[in-house]
Structure 1
Amino acid sequence: MCRIFGYFNASVTPHAMRTVAALQRHGGPDATGGSRGPSWGLGNNRLAVVGLDGGQQPYGRGGPVQVVFNGEIYNHGELRRRLQALGHVVPDACDGSVLPALYLEYGEEFTEHLDGMYALAVVDTRGAVPRLLLATDHLGMKPLYLRWDAAGRSLWFASELPALLGFGGVGARVRESALDAFLSTRTPFGARTVYEDVEVLEPGTTWVCELGGAPRVRRRGTQGPAGAGEPRAAAGDGGAAARRVRQALRREVGRLLTADVPVAVVTSGGLDSSLVTALAAEHGPQHAFTLAYRGVWPFDERHFAREVAERAGAVHHVVEVDPAAFPALLEETVWHLGQPNADPIALSTYALFRAVREAGFTVALTGDGADEVFGGYERMRLAAERAAAGDDWAPAYLDALSAAPAALRARLYTDAYRAHTAAHPALPEAAREDLLHGAGTVLERITRFELDHRLPAYHLRRVDHLSMASAVEARLPFCQRSVLALARPLSDGERIRGGQVKRTLYAAAAGLLPERVLARPKQPFTLPVRAMLRPGTVLWEYARDLLAPARTAAAGRLDGRAVDALFAAQAERPGDGTALALWALLVHEVWDEQFRARLREAAAGARPLAVAA
Structure 2
Amino acid sequence: MCRIYGYFNASASPNEMKTVGALQRHGGPDRTGMSRAPGWGLGSNRLAIIDLDGGSQPYEIEGRISAVFNGEIYNHDALRARLRQRGHTFADRCDGAIIPALYEEYGERFTDLLDGMYSIALLDLRERPKLLLVTDDMGMKPLYYRWDPVDRSLRYSSEIPALLAFEGLGKTLWNPGLDAYLASKTPFGEQTMFEEIKVLPAATTLRCALGEVPEAIRRTPAAAPVLGDADKAAELVRDSLRTEVGRLLVADVPVAVITSGGLDSSLVTALAAEHGPVHSFNIAYRGTWPFEERHFARQAAEHAGAVYHQVELDPATLPDLIEDVVWHLGQPNADPITVSTYALFAAVREAGFKVALTGDAADEVFGGYARMRAAHEAAPYGTEWYGRYLDALAVVPADRRHSLYTDDYRLLVEGVPAIPAEALGRLHGGEGTVLERVTDFELTYRLPAYHLRRVDHLSMAHSVESRLPFCQRSVTSLGRALPDRLRIDGDQVKRTLYGAAAGLVPEAVHKRVKQPFTLPVTAMLTPGSPLWQMARDTLATSRLRAAGRLDPNAVDALFEAQRLRPDDTTALTLWALMTYEVWQDQFQGAARPVGVKVPA
Q: Scaled by the length of structure 2, what TM-score is found?
A: 0.97
Shift of 1:498: 1.3
| Number of aligned residues | 591
Structure 1, residues 399-442: CA drift from partner, whole Å, max 9, x if none? 11001111221210112211221221111111100101111111
Deviations 1:488-519 (CA, angstroms, capped at 9, x unpaired):
01111111111111111011100001111111
User: What's the Cα RMSD here?
Assistant: 1.2
Judge conservation of contact 2:60–2:67 (CA < 8 Å) in 1.
Answer: yes
User: Counterpart of 2:152 in structure 1: which amino acid?
Assistant: R
Match of 1:347 among 331, 339, 342: 339
Q: CA deviation at 1:388?
A: 2.7
Given that residues 66 and 100 in structure 1 are in contact (C-alpha distance below 8 angstroms), is that contact kept between their aligned partners in structure 2?
Answer: yes
Paired AA for residue 77 in structure 1? D
Structure 1: state its 5+ residue gaps.
Answer: 600-613
In structure 2, the residue matched to 1:156 is 155
- Decide which of 382, 385, 391 is 1:399's aligned counterpart: 391
Residue matched to 1:96: 96
Judge which range, 166-175 or 95-104, deviates more. Answer: 166-175
* Structure 2 contact 227–481 (Cα < 8 Å) conserved: no
Partner of 1:582: 574
Match of residue 562 from structure 2? 570
C-alpha distance in 2 between matches for 1:553 and 1:495: 47
Amino acid at match of 2:386: A
Give the one of 288, 291, 314 matched to 1:296: 288
Q: Post-superposition shift, 1:391?
A: 5.6
Residue 204 of structure 2 contacts residue 219 of structure 2 at CA under 8 Å; is this kept in 1? yes
Distance in 2, Cα, partners of 1:416 & 1:536: 34
Look up the equivalent residue of 2:55 and give its one-letter code.
G
- Alignment match, 2:215: 216
Match in the other structure for 1:33: 33
- The SS at the match of 2:493 is coil
User: SS where residue 60 of structure 2 aligns?
Assistant: coil
Establish whether residue 541 from structure 1 lines up as the match of residue 540 from structure 2: no
Alignment map for 1:151-550 (pairs within 5 Å): 151-223=150-222, 232=225, 234-235=227-228, 237-390=229-382, 392-550=384-542
| Corresponding residue SS for 2:589 | helix
Q: Partners of 2:376 and 2:424 in 1: how far apart?
A: 17
Amino acid of the structure 2 residue aligned with 1:14: P
Superimposed CA distance per residue, residues 358-389 of structure 1 (whole angstroms, 9 cap, x where no aligned partner): 10000000001100011100111111112233
Amino acid at match of 2:48: A
Indicate the residue corresponding to 1:64 in structure 2: 64
What is the Cα deviation at residue 537 of structure 1? Answer: 1.2
How far apart are the structure 2 equivalents of 1:61 and 1:41? 16
Separation in 2 of the partners of 1:55 and 1:597? 36
In 1, the alpha carbon distance for the partners of 2:498 and 2:275 equals 22
Distance 1:60 1:288 in 2: 39
CA contact (8 A) 1:268 1:301 kept: yes
| Alpha-carbon displacement from aligned partner over 1:62-116 (angstroms, at most 9, x marks no partner) | 5311110000000000000000011111221100011111111111111111000
Q: Cα offset for 1:131?
A: 1.6
- The equivalent of 1:121 in structure 2 is 121
Cα distance between partner residues in 1 of 2:527 and 2:195: 37
**C-alpha distance in 1, partners of 2:216/2:254?**
38
Q: Tell me how far apart the structure 2 counterparts of residues 452 and 172 of structure 1 sit (CA, whole Å).
A: 27
Of 538-547 and 390-399, deviating more is: 390-399
1:16 aligns with 2:8: no
Find the residue that maps to 2:51 and give its secondary structure.
coil
Q: 1:208, 1:559 → 2: CA distance?
A: 43
Aligned to 1:606: none
Q: Normalized against structure 1, the TM-score is what?
A: 0.95
Amino acid in structure 2 at the alignment position of 1:107:
G
| 2:426 partner SS | helix
Partner SS state of residue 451, structure 1: helix
